[in-house]
A and B are shown apart, each in its own frame.
Chain A
Amino acid sequence: MRCLDVTRELAVPTGLVDSAELNRHVASCPHCSVWARRARQFDRLWENTRVEAPDAAFDGLWSNVRRALDNPPEAAETRPSIASSRMRWRMAVAVLAPAAALLVAALLLFDRGDRNGLALGHDKKSPVQGKVIPIPFWTDKEVEVRLASLEIEPGQCSIFGWAGQEFVVEKRFENTSNAVSPDLDVLNALEGMAQ
């Protein structure tokens, strides 16, 4: 059992790992036993820093909600009504939609993205473009991805999520070598660049 499998199961339990084997690994592996101890300490910290709502908080909030329901949009405490907001949006869309359609058509004509079933990159050079990182799926396979960009275009679906970021992937391929732990320092740096 690999250390990555152990720490992954401790952090994100799936119930798919043999618990006896996991416990044996933790007992015998210095790295994983420290990780497990830190995880227990963190769990305790989380529980002990839980904040409960102030007494009667719900009653106060609910009276505001009730007042807003009984006194539609003019009430001082309420935001503009959803209906009037929707009307404004509809009008804006009606005016801008033809221009947007022309713009999208123009972009598509000049788009030269990779259409090999993967997300399109865009012309702007991303600082992570071309960087290869290993991504452990929650399956038996280990894959690597070569990043195109951290930036998701409007309307574009992310291909893969890791390290809190949805990456646009240029190419995905199986890693036939022994699986390695993800370089979280690299991924932290990537996240830092994306913010």
Chain B
Amino acid sequence: MPESQAGVLWTSDEQLVKLAREGDRPALEELFRRHFDVAYRVAHRLLGNEQDALDAVQDAMLKAVQHLNDFGGRSEFRTWLLKIVNHAALDAGRRRRRRPTVRLVESESNGPEPAITDDPAQGLQRDDLRRLLDGALDKLSPTTRATFVLFAEADLGYKEIAECLGVPIGTVMSRIFYARHNLQSFLEGTDAL
């Protein structure tokens, strides 16, 4: 098995795919390492907890590796991988209910919005806000949630999301608008907004 070339970190995804198909294991690992963070963040937003997200990402990575020859290069590798991650997360969500989130009692005060800092003492507050947001995301349909998460977390463009989900661009834009409007409405009056 050939050694990976020096400077593999600076190689494009297309070149890494080509090397990986030729059996270059370090190139294959680098290809997936490069996109692991965004894959995990998307899966976590969709599933709401660390273990389910890791399981879904592992399933997706294995599937992507096994089907690497099916990647035709019409889209970016990241878009193709996130499509697989989304499917894996949907499958995981069907198999296991999203872990129920603890809903906080809605605050009746109209005090100033909570400050978010890196102060460890604020860690609990960040977790509470995350749970509120997860609860709001949970109210969306799976397809709407996936569309919004790919937009807001993976920073994909509308065309890329459309390719990922196999729907028209207009549908993507509609879903994002609807998701955002509803998420903001769900969170109104809570400590989150």
Contacts and interface: CB of A to CB of B under 8 A. Distances in A.
Interface residues of B, number: 55
A62 B33 contact: yes
Interface string A153-168: 0000010111111100
A49 B126 contact: yes
A1 interface: no
The interface residues of chain A, by DSSP majority, are classed as: helix
B65 A69 contact: yes
Interface in B140-173: 140-141, 143-144, 147, 152-153, 158, 167-168, 170-171, 173
A142 interface: no
A142 to B, nearest CB: 14
Given A38-B188, A53-B40, A161-B171, A11 B181 contact: yes
A48 B116 CA distance: 7
Nearest to B38: A53
A42 to B, nearest CB: 5
Contacts of B62: 64-65, 68, 78-79
A17 interface: no
A71 interface: no
Given A48-B129, A49-B126, A162-B174, A41 B113 contact: yes
Nearest to B176: A12
Contacts of B144: 163-164
Interface of B: 25, 29, 32-33, 36-37, 40-41, 44-45, 50, 54, 57-59, 61-63, 65-67, 113, 116, 126, 129-130, 133, 140-141, 143-144, 147, 152-153, 158, 167-168, 170-171, 173-184, 187-188, 192-193
